[in-house]
Amino acid sequence: MSYILYIGVDDTDIIGSAGTGKVARGLANHLVKLGLGESLGVSRHQLLVDGRIRYTSHNSAKGIALTTERKVTEFYQPSTDYIKECFQPGSDPGLCICSEEMIDEEIIQFGKRAVSEVLLIRDAIDLAARHKLFLKGLEGNGEGIIGALAAVGLRAWGNESRLVDLPGIREIKGLITVAEILKSTPICSVQDTDGKLLDQNEVIDSLDWIRPSLIGGQPVLRVKPTTNSAGKRIWLSIEKRAKSGGDD
Residue 248 has pLDDT above 70, yes or no: no
Q: What is the full DSSP assignment across 5-41? A: EEEEEE----TTSPPHHHHHHHHHHHHHHTTS-EEEE
* Position 247 confidence tier, pLDDT thresholds 50, 70, 90: low
Q: Are residues 56 and 110 in the same domain?
A: yes
Q: Are residues 137 and 26 in the same domain?
A: yes
The residue with greater pLDDT, 242 or 204, is: 204
Q: How far are the Cα atoms of 174, 191, 199, 225, 228 from residue 233, in angstroms, in the given order?
A: 15, 15, 13, 7, 7
Q: What is the mean pLDDT of the chain?
A: 91
The 10s digit of each residue's pLDDT in 43-54 is 999 998 766 666
Q: Amino acid identity of 87?
A: F
CATH number (domain holding residue 73): 3.30.70.2200
The 10s digit of each residue's pLDDT in 207-224 is 999 999 999 999 999 999
* Domain-ending residue, one of 114, 136, 162: 162
Which of 17-26, 92-101, 135-144 has the highest average model confidence (pLDDT)? 92-101
- Quick one: DSSP state of residue 47? -
Q: Are residues 111 and 177 in the same domain?
A: no
Q: How far are the Cα atoms of 134, 150, 214, 222 from residue 40, in angstroms, in the given order?
A: 20, 18, 11, 19
- Domain containing residue 178: 167-237
Lowest mean pLDDT among 29-38, 57-66, 71-80: 57-66
Q: Are residues 191 and 80 in the same domain?
A: no
Beta strands in 47-107 (DSSP E): 60-68, 94-99
Q: What is the full DSSP assignment across 184-209? A: HSS--EEE-TTSPBPPTT-EEE-TT-
Domain-embedded: residue 242: no
The 10s digit of each residue's pLDDT in 97-153 is 999 999 999 999 999 999 999 899 999 999 999 999 999 998 878 889 999 999 999
Residue 244 has pLDDT above 60, yes or no: no
Q: What pLDDT is attached to residue 51? A: 60
Q: Are residues 179 and 97 in the same domain?
A: no
